[in-house]
């Protein structure tokens, strides 16, 4: 029943949850015009204690004011809807790093999921989400990031009904920073790799790219990761044992730039050909010294731009987001994409504007009550 005592104040504090790995927080909300109802602007986290306090204001015909306190604990859904992402909080990444989100289950509604995602940058940039599948969505700017850009990302799934009995268990947020502009330009025709930082040439490396029958892939690629040693088995990319091109090698100082298995890596066996001929199975071969230097130099999101191989980029593979024209990229969004830059906001004070699963407090006669 709706009462006639206006609310003076409402606070909803959330406790930490060990199972959900969340810190304490508060739930923001807004009052109705007559201050008789308060509605949250967020959903409830799973396995969390909530402490609610509400008080009323003086009102004609009502004797005095009152305040109440109550608390409740939320449960844990049998099936949850969660998200993981890259980059991770606190990371400094290259100018070509997209924001990649992977969901624990397919999104039954891409638009509904995307409406709960927030990206804010300082300075503002024009960017858009693009769905690779119902479980993976990426955000990238129209052009490369500007070094020094601060990026804030939110995925607000607390209380979200993802369908199939799956519920969102919490909101997540993280911040990362764009580092210096590190771009490596690889020319298959000259067999060289030139490494630049903020436009300054740091190193020119003789390299060997893919042989004519197994060419390397053209295009600007963003670094996906690196490892001091990887096992390369051609059977994983469709070249089985018995094929003349079959290989199984342990390689050092491997920097991965496509999900199809192309790397810049150490290749002591091809040093005589590096700078002279293309003899690899598709990767960029470098000397052990050059490969180790590059491994230590590069980071997630740096650009490796390869030209003159004759093999176009495969945009179905990760690492090739920058080969997708902007018009095509933004067409992959589940929601309309604005071509206007968002206003500058303080990332330190950024809060979600999404409103799934509200909690409402409505005063009763002479008292204030809150319910979930």
Question: How far apart, in Å, do the first and last CA atoms of the chain sit?
Answer: 15
The DSSP secondary-structure symbol of 135 reads S
Q: Residue 326 — left, alpha, or beta (φ > 0 → left; ψ -120 to 50 → alpha)?
A: alpha
Cβ contact 167:76 at 8 Å: no
Sign of CA dihedral 245, 247, 252, 257: positive
Alpha helix stretches (DSSP H) within the chain: 110-114, 288-297, 326-331
Q: Choose, from 191, 221, 281, 283, the residue flagged as catalytic.
A: 283
Query: What is each CA distance from 108 to 112, 235, 274, in whole angstroms?
Result: 8, 35, 50
Cβ contact 217:262 at 8 Å: yes
Residue appearing with tokens 């390299």: 207
Q: Choose, from 191, 221, 265, 281, the residue flagged as catalytic.
A: 265
β-pair partners for 156: 171
Nearby residues of 316 by Cβ (< 8 Å), 6 or more positions away: none
Tokens representing residue 189 in the block: 């025709």
Q: From CA 75, how far away is CA 11, in angstroms rounded?
A: 21
Is residue 191 part of the annotated active site? The answer reads: no
Is residue 265 part of the annotated active site? The answer reads: yes
Q: Which residues of 241-274 are buried (b: 16+ CB within 10 A; e: fewer)?
A: eeeeeeeeeebbbbbbbbebbbbbbbbeebbebb
Cβ contact 324:130 at 8 Å: yes
Give the three-class secondary structure for 159.
Answer: coil
The catalytic residues are 265, 283
């Amino acid at each position: 029943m709706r009462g006639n005592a206006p609310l003076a104040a409402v606070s909803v504090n959330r406790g930490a949850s060990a199972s959900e790995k969340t810190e304490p927080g508060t739930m923001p909300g807004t009052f109705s015009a007559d201050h008789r109802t308060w509605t949250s602007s967020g959903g409830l986290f799973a396995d969390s204690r909530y402490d609610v306090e509400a008080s009323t204001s003086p009102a004609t015909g009502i004797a005095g004011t009152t305040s109440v306190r109550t608390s409740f604990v939320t449960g844990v859904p049998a099936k949850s809807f969660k998200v993981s992402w890259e980059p991770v909080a606190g990371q400094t990444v290259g100018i070509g790093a997209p924001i990649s989100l992977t969901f624990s289950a397919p999104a039954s509604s891409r638009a509904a999921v995307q409406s709960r995602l927030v990206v804010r940058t300082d300075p503002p940039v024009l960017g858009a989400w693009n769905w690779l599948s119902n479980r993976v969505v990426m955000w990238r700017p129209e052009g490369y990031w500007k070094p020094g850009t601060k990026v804030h990302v939110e995925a607000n799934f607390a209380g979200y009904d993802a369908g199939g009995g799956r519920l969102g268990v919490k909101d997540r947020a993280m911040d990362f920073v764009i580092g210096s502009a590190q771009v490596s330009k690889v020319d298959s025709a000259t067999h060289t790799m030139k490494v630049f930082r903020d436009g300054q040439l740091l190193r020119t490396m003789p390299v060997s790219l893919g042989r004519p029958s197994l060419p390397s892939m053209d295009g600007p690629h963003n670094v996906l990761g690196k490892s001091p040693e990887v096992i390369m088995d051609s059977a994983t990319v469709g070249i089985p044992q018995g094929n003349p091109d079959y290989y199984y090698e342990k390689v050092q100082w491997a920097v991965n730039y496509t999900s199809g298995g192309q790397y810049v890596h150490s290749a002591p066996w091809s040093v005589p050909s590096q700078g002279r001929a293309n003899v690899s199975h598709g990767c960029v071969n470098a000397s052990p010294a050059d490969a180790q230097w590059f491994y230590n130099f590069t980071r997630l999101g740096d650009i490796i731009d390869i030209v003159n191989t004759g093999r176009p980029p495969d945009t179905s593979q990760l690492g090739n987001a920058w080969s997708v024209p902007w018009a095509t990229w933004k067409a992959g969004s589940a929601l309309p994409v604005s071509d206007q830059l968002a206003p500058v906001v303080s990332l330190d004070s950024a809060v979600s504007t999404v409103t799934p699963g509200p909690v409402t407090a409505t005063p009763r006669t002479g008292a204030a009550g809150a319910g979930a």
